Each structure stands twice: as C-alpha cells, then as structure tokens.
Amino acid sequence: MLLFGIVFAPAITALVLALVPQKWLARLTPIVPAAIFVWLAATQVGADTIVTAEMPWFPSLGVTLSFFLDGLGLLFALIISGIGALVLIYAGGYFEKPADRVRFSIYTLIFMTAMLGIVTSSNLLLLFVFWEITSITSYLLIGFKNESSAAREGARRALLITAGGGLALMAGILLIGIVGGTFDLQTLLNNPDVLRESGLYLPITLLIFAGAFTKSAQWPLHFWLPGAMEAPTPASTYLHSATMVKAGIFLLARMSALLNGTDLWLYTLTIIGLITFVYGAIIALRQTDLKAILAYSTVSWLGILVAVQGAANEYAAVALAVGVLAHALYKAALFLMVGNVDHATHTRLIDRVGGLARPMPITFAAALVASLSMAGIPPLMGYLSKETLNAASVYDGLPALLAALLPIGVVIGAAFTVTVAFRVLYDTFLKRAPAGSDLHPHEANIPMLAGPVVLGVLSLALPFLLVPLLDPLISQTATAIRQTPTAVHLHLFEGFNTPLLMSIIAVGAGLLLFTIRQPLIRGLQKLPEFNPVVIYQWFFFTALPVFADRLTMRLQNGRLQFYITIIFASFITLISGIILLARLSFLDGDVLAHFDWRIAVVCLFIIIGAVSTIFAPTRLSAIVVAGIEGSLLSLLFAIYGAPDLAFTQMMIEVVTLVLFVLAFHFLPDAFVAQKSRVGRALDLLIAAGMGVMVTLLILVANSNQIGEPISDWYIENAVSLGQGQNVVNILLVDFRGLDTMGEITVLIIAAIGVTALLRFRPASQPRGGQFLTKNVEPPPEEPLPPEDESHDEESEEANEEEIS
Amino acid sequence: MTRSVFFQFVARVMLPVLLIFSLMLMLRGHNEAGGGFVGGLVASCGVMLMTLAYGPDEVRQRFKIDFLRLMFWGLLIAVFAGVLGLFAGGAFLEAEWWKPFIQGIGRLELGTPLLFDIGVYIIVLSVTSSIVMSMAEEGERND
C-alpha cells in the first residue's frame, strides 16, 4: 500500500496546490519527492524483496491497479524523485512570477506521478495510461509559454509524435494481452517465452519499438525533442533529459526479458540506436543554442542506451543501468547550468556568451564536473558509464556485423560527445567573451545552484561509493532487466583492456576534434540537412488537411438532397444485402391476419397523399399535404388503440408545420427543377427502392420472430414495477429511462446547433432573400431534429404497440 | 410584419389553456394518455402561437425566459431524478416512490419518474420554443 502513496503523493500534492495556489505552498512541494527519494534510497537499495501493491479497478476488464517495485523500477524511481525534488527547488529561483511557479509545480508533480506510475506499474494497461499522461504533461510544459508560437508548435509536434507512438504501444499491449492471456507484467515475466513463441511476436515487437522509439526520440523520429526545448529550462531538464525521454528506454528494458534474443530485437535496436548515437552527437556539434546542443546530445545518448539493449547480455544490462544513471546526473546538471546562464545573460547562444567562469564560479564548478563526466573523464560517473558501455560493445557473443560496427560506432559517437562536452564547457565559461558583448552576468541564486551542485557532487562521489551504494543498486537493476540474478562489481580501474583503450581513443580523438572545432562546425553547418521534420510537416499540415478538406467537400457539400440520397442509398444497400446474405424469409407469417378495412382505407388516403406531394407546385402546398399525411398516420395509431402515439403524432405535425413555414421564409416558394431527367429518374429509383426496402423490412420482422416480444413483459410489469397504468409513458421515463436521457440530451444539442447556425453564421454568407437569385439550397437550418427525435420514439413505440 | 389583432387575441386566450392542458397531460401521464414529451409539445404550441402573433422580440420581453438556459435546467432535473435513485441505493435512474397520505386530498404518488418527466417536459418545451423563436427572429431580420 505504501507504493500507492509513493506513486500518487505527487499528484495529490498537485491537486492541493491547484486548490490553494499559493507561493508558500509551492515552496514546500519539493519535500514530497525528496521524502520519496529518501525512503527509496534508505529501504529499497539492496533489499531482497520486491514491494507490491494491488487494488481492483475494472475487475470485469482485468484491469487492476497493481504496482511492483523491482530493481529496474527502483533505479528510475530514484532518478525521478531525486531530480524531481531538485527541479522543483530550482523552479523557485527560476520563475519570476509566483503564478508561473505554481503552474509549473502542478504540471511537474502530475508528471512525476505519471512517471513513477510507468516505472512501477505491473499492469500493462495501467502503464499505458501513465505513459499517455506523461505525453500530455510534456505537452503542457513545452507549451508553458503559451503566448509564443514556437512553444505551441514545439508542444504540438511533441504531442503528435509521442501520442502517435503511444497508440502503437497500446496496440502492442493489447496484442500482448491476447497472446499472454494477461496484462500483468509479473505474471508475464514468470512465463517469459509465451510472446516469443507466438505468431504475433513480430507485430508486438514492432509496436513496442514504435512506442519506445517515439518516446525516446530515436532517429528518424528524434526531431520532436529539439523542438521541445521551448519548455522552461527546469522542465527540459526533468522531462526531456532526465526522465520522460528515458521512458522508452525503460519500456525496452522492461520488455527485454519477454522479447529479446531474436535477430529482430538485436539488429533493430543496435542499428537504430547506433545511428541515433552518432547522428545526434555530430548534429549536436553544429548547434549554436546551448539548449539545442544539449538536446541533440541527449538524443545521441538515448541512442546508445537503445543500442546496448540489442544484445541483452549481462554487460549490456550493466551498461544500461549505469548509463541511465550517469546521464541523468550530468545532463540534468548541464541543463540547469544553461538555465543559470540564460538567467544571468539573457541569451543561450554559445557565440554570444563567454568568460562566465569568473562571475559564476559555483555554476562553473558544477558545469565542470558535469561536462567532464559527460566526456567520460575518470574518476567521474560518466567514465564508469563509458567503461561499461565499451565493455558491452566488445562483448564476444555478438554476430560478426555488429561486432565490427558497434565498437567503431561507439568510439565515433563518444569522440563527438567529448568534443561537444568540451565545447559547452570551454566556450561558455573559459573562452573570452565576444567583443562588444554587453553581458552583465551574475551568479545564480541559491535554489538555482542547489541542483547543479548536488548533481555535480553525486557525479563525483558515486564512483567512490561503489560497494555500499552503486553495486547493490546496479545489481538489482541488471537482475530485473535480465530476470536472472546478476551480481555486479564495478571497478574504476580494471587494468589495461580493450574498453580502456577505446576510452582513450575516444577522448584523444574528441580533444583533437575540439582543437579544430571552428572549421569543423562551419563545415557541418554547410552540410545539407536531411531533416525528417519536413515529412512530418507535410503529413500533418499539408497531406492530412487537404485530404480532410476534399473528403468533407465531397460528403458535406451542403446539399440536403445529396445527403438524403446517400443515406437512402446506403439504407437500401444494407437492408437488401442483409436480406440476401442471411436468406431471410419474409412471407412466412400470415400477412393478412389482422386485416382491417378501416386501415386499408386510411392507407389508401396516405398513398394518394404521398403521390400528390410530388406534384405539389409550391413548397407550402407540399408541406401541407405532408401534414395531412401525418394526421392520417395518427389516425392509424388511434385505430390500433394507441391514443398516446396518435396525440403525440398530431402535435408533432403541428409543430413541424410551423417550423417549416418559418423556414420557408428563406426559400423561394415554387420548386425549381435543378436536375436533369436522368437525375430525376435516379431519384425515383432510390425513392422506390426505399419504399420496397421498408416494406420488406416490415415483412421480415413479421416473419422472423426470434424471441418472446419484450412488450408483454412491459405490460405485465408496468403496474408492479413501474407503478402506473400507461405503459408507453412508463417505458419512456422508467424502464428505458436511460434512452430517454440520451434523447433529451440530443434534443438539447440540436437546439444549440440550430441556434448557433442561425445566430452566429458568418456575415459573408448570403442571407435569406438571396437564395432566390443564387438558386442554391438553404443552409442546413432544418427544423428536423425535434421531429426526427420524436419519430424515432414514435416508431419505437409503434413497434411495441404493434407487437402487443 | 403586420400583426393581426384577432390572432393576437386568440393566442393570448389560448396560451393559459394550452399551458394548463400541458401540465395536466404531463401529470396524468403515468396512468393515462399523456406524459412529459407530449405535454412539452402542447406547451410549446402556446409559445409558438404567441411568437407568430406578437413576434419573437415581444415574446422574449414578456416572458423573460431564456429557453436556451431553461433546457439545461430541464436536463439537470432529469439527471437529478436519476441520481436520486443512485442515492437511494439503487442504480442510476432506478425509480423511487414516495406516497404520503394527506388528509382531505388522498394519497399522493410522488416518484422520481415524475421528476424525470418534468425534466423531459421542460426540455421539449424549451428546445422547440428556442428553435421556433430563433427562426422567427431570423425571418424578422430579413424583412
């Protein structure tokens, strides 16, 4: 049960903060994630048992609120809560307006719950719900400065891509549920081969990939992440570097034991990840905005975290665990550093800043540790991470192609990462400030220093706390990823081996590239950029709208005649299709069993009326004849002994007549022939077909009595259950009350629609009288909704009556 | 639009008759022909007559009723009737009856279906009236 508290405490805090949007309360919010972090670190690191919690949610659908905290979830939960606390503290110094800080804290706390939910969910559907909440909170945070169009565009792009991936993930999860018979991760992990052996392995894996790759910004879908840098810096730090973008990595690690071991898994992850790693590192170098540099280098690092998961061996699991932790520590510190620089100098362009080491010594110190860690310089966390990574890349069991590609790719990417790290550090803090620049930098305030300093200290200290802290944590994580007990013993120095050699080459090459960075960057900037964002733009903002436009123009062209033709034609096709396919009989029953000459007479009049409507010269005369038809129909009801229906039908006719008369105000009185002879012949055909189909339908209903008619039940129980004599009314307000509720709601919607169309139509649209000259159909201000509605009810009731 | 004084007189006489008749229809609906739906239609006929006789602007001024707003009250009443069933321990919209005996009048039969029917009545009345009035207004504007 404690796990529920951990997952939902941030969201509850957000709720309280939303109700009491006060600055002092926002100031207290970091306590919540800090407490979670302390509890996790104190009780869970090195623990032998896995904490679980469960509560039924939709028992009929097999959805339970079930959580479990294994090593993998623990590592991520520590990062989420720890960095979350630092970011909330940071926000206190970053936002100038208290309202902004409150809003930011609310979004961030909700996000925190969602993220903790992802990493601890045991039920896959639950995981999906949390997954989507992170997409939405990310959208809100990227669009935080909602008056900026770039922020809105970035938010929309991130949402479209990650939510699209979320849909794929949902499909994958549903397939897993079908194959595995359960959505429970713990159950699935106990029987790990069930998915691999099924015929749906390929689609499941591809769908999970789609979810993970979009969330974790893998090439070629990485472009939303740089766009997400419009978010306030603390949000970028938290979501788009330390936690949310690692949800995809987490998902792969979580599913690894269920899906890995195939060529599909190995090659897709390794190759896509490697491309992302090298591409991101190179593109990062050519950026000039500090945040964009860090964004692309995050893309790059996410790539390597995907790539190492392909092989899914012990080294890979360790490299993943250490890599996630190291990256979260140094990249979050660097992002916060950029926030400080931006705050102090009001620019993030690397060409405009320089020499900030002196005015901002503490920020500089933290950035120094973070960027050296990023470059993989011993004895920092980044170095440890790079060593484990190199070890994973030269693992013996890899197939020849990857055994050649992986180490080379890792070294190239690492070299560029080193260059980027040094460039960020040197050009921001050490290089002389550009001539003529007018910066008055100052050191950041204490809340804004806390984060970088704490993270820097951790990057520095953790490698020296291997035995008490890191080894047990990483062992737990690797065990959870591989689902086999794994004991990890990390060492800062393992002797001269291949991984160390690779590190040395990477750092050397990186330093070399750093010295020639000016021409290198200029060269890179001249390179033509293949940016998949073009495809995204085309798809969402050209192809889709044009397609939707054309479709709408075709189907919703404003001609009521066309709509009716479509509806009737579909009706005819459907009914005749069903009758033919199901070979329904329609002359079984005695059709003339209840013949009544009075009814025959009324029907004769109705037919005469219908025919004369066609020949009515004016609209008014047509509608009057139609009104008489309705009255005759109510006479039919009366003969059948349904006074309710008869009366209602009469009222409907009256109201309809008045509405029509009011509507005719906008129409020419006489009908104007608009159609060719062929067109009218087609209309005749459709009308006749409609009549035939309705007749057939009635005959079919008469001949195919499947079950006992429910009307008997209604009549029997009207008094005892409904406590009344009028079955029709009891049906409406009691037995089928929910239907009526739906119908009256539709009525209201129709009324709102009519009012909106009449009152708020654009001024440019032609007004009533002009229809005369323009000869077009009226705007759809038809008075049909109430009439339609009542007819529905009428026919429903009529059926009941007839059967009874 | 020219107004006919005779028509206006008829409308004014008919309005209370129709309204009372509609209320009666609604209330007796549970046991005899009638109900909220048809009651609402009859009542809206009264409003319709007034609209045709006096024009929508004058009707709006006289009645001081915003039908667009009124329909939501109707929906609220209907939902409330449903929720009452929920509170009484049953399902949403499950009927609950209350039958107090009052000296001199007899046994009253009050139940959530009646309340629900009142909601239906209000909605049908206000939906029809608001559509008629806005169409009539549009017609006036074009003249």
Chain B residues in contact with A728 (beta carbon < 8 A): 35
B134 to A755: CB separation less than 8 angstroms, yes or no: yes
A758 to B137: CB separation less than 8 angstroms, yes or no: yes
Q: What is the pLDDT of residue A763?
A: 57
Q: What is the pLDDT of residue A92?
A: 86
Chain A residue closest to B28 (CA)?
A726
Please give, one letter per residue, the 3-state secondary structure of A309-365.
HHHCCHHHHHHHHHHHHHHHHHHHHHHHHHHHHHHHHCCCECCCCCCCCCCCHHHHH
Residue with tokens 């207004």: B137
A726: nearest CB among B30, B82, B123: B30
The model's pLDDT over A464-511, given as tens digits with 9 standing for 90+, comes to 887 778 888 888 888 888 888 888 888 777 777 888 888 888 888 888
Burial class (CB in 10 A: 0-12, 13-18, 19+), A264: middle
Chain A window 710-729: which residues touch B at a Cβ cutoff of 8 Å?
A: 721-726, 728-729
Chain A residues in contact with B43 (beta carbon < 8 A): none
**Chain B nearest C-alpha distance from A14 (Å):** 30
**Chain B nearest C-alpha distance from A753 (Å):** 10
HSE, side-chain direction, 13 A CA sphere, residue A666: 22
- Sign, Cα dihedral of A679, A683, A688, A694: positive
For residue A481 the two structure tokens come to 């990823």
A786: nearest CB among B92, B119, B131: B131
Best CA proximity match to A70, nearest among A53, A55, A54, A51? A51
Chain B residues in contact with A751 (beta carbon < 8 A): 68, 71, 126-127, 130-131
B35 to A745: CB separation less than 8 angstroms, yes or no: no
SS3 A56: strand
Chain B interface includes A755 (CB < 8 A): yes
Q: What is the pLDDT of residue A539?
A: 85
Chain A residues in contact with B92 (beta carbon < 8 A): 738
Chain A residue closest to B123 (CA)?
A744
Please state, in angstroms and rounded to a whole number, the distance separating the CA atoms of residues B44 and B38: 10
The model's pLDDT over A421-471, given as tens digits with 9 standing for 90+, comes to 888 888 888 878 777 666 677 787 888 888 889 988 888 888 888 777 888
Mutate to test the interface with A, among B30, B73, B96, B115 (most CBs of A within 10 A): B30
pLDDT in tens, chain B (143 residues): 567 888 899 999 999 999 999 999 888 877 777 888 899 999 999 999 999 898 888 888 888 888 888 989 999 999 888 888 777 766 677 777 777 777 776 776 778 888 888 999 999 999 999 998 888 888 777 66
Please state, in angstroms and rounded to a whole number, the distance separating the CA atoms of residues A69 and A76: 10
Chain B interface includes A654 (CB < 8 A): yes
**Chain B nearest C-alpha distance from A647 (Å):** 8
Chain B residues in contact with A729 (beta carbon < 8 A): 29-30, 34-35, 117
Q: Is the pTM of this model over 0.80?
A: no
What is the ipTM metric for this complex?
Answer: 0.89
Chain A residue closest to B42 (CA)?
A651
**Chain B nearest C-alpha distance from A555 (Å):** 26
Burial class (CB in 10 A: 0-12, 13-18, 19+), A496: exposed
A741 to B82: CB separation less than 8 angstroms, yes or no: yes
Chain A residue closest to B98 (CA)?
A723
Which amino acid belongs to residue A400? A
Chain B residues in contact with A747 (beta carbon < 8 A): 71, 123-124, 127
What A142-149 contacts at long range (C-beta under 8 Å, 24+ apart), as own/partner pairs, is A142/A227, A142/A228, A142/A230, A142/A231, A142/A235, A143/A230, A144/A100, A144/A103, A144/A104, A144/A107, A144/A231, A144/A232, A144/A235, A145/A230, A145/A232, A148/A230
Below-50 pLDDT ranges, chain A: 764, 766-804
Chain A residue closest to B111 (CA)?
A723
Q: What is the pLDDT of residue A60?
A: 65
- Residues B67, B130 contacting (CB under 8 angstroms): yes
Q: What is the DSSP string of B88-135?
A: TTS-TT---EE--EETTTEE--EEHHHHHHHHHHHHHHHHHHHHHHHH
Chain B residues in contact with A769 (beta carbon < 8 A): 142
Please state, in angstroms and rounded to a whole number, the distance separating the CA atoms of residues A483 and A310: 16
B48: nearest CB among A658, A730, A785: A658
For residue A200 the two structure tokens come to 């749906």
Chain A residues in contact with B74 (beta carbon < 8 A): 744
B126 to A751: CB separation less than 8 angstroms, yes or no: yes
Q: What is the pLDDT of residue B143?
A: 61
B138 to A769: CB separation less than 8 angstroms, yes or no: no
B35 to A728: CB separation less than 8 angstroms, yes or no: yes
- Residues A798, A637 contacting (CB under 8 angstroms): yes
B32 to A725: CB separation less than 8 angstroms, yes or no: yes
Chain B residue closest to A651 (CA)?
B41
Chain B interface includes A793 (CB < 8 A): yes
A726 to B33: CB separation less than 8 angstroms, yes or no: yes
Chain A residues in contact with B139 (beta carbon < 8 A): 662, 665-666, 768
Chain B residues in contact with A721 (beta carbon < 8 A): 95
Chain B residue closest to A793 (CA)?
B37
Chain A residues in contact with B123 (beta carbon < 8 A): 744, 747-748
A748 to B71: CB separation less than 8 angstroms, yes or no: yes
Q: What is the pLDDT of residue A792?
A: 42
Chain B interface includes A763 (CB < 8 A): no
For residue A375 the two structure tokens come to 């470059």
**Chain B nearest C-alpha distance from A663 (Å):** 7
Please state, in angstroms and rounded to a whole number, the distance separating the CA atoms of residues A183 and A59: 12
Please state, in angstroms and rounded to a whole number, the distance separating the CA atoms of residues A727 and B14: 30
Chain B residue closest to A756 (CA)?
B134
Burial class (CB in 10 A: 0-12, 13-18, 19+), A602: middle
Mutate to test the interface with A, among B14, B32, B38 (most CBs of A within 10 A): B38
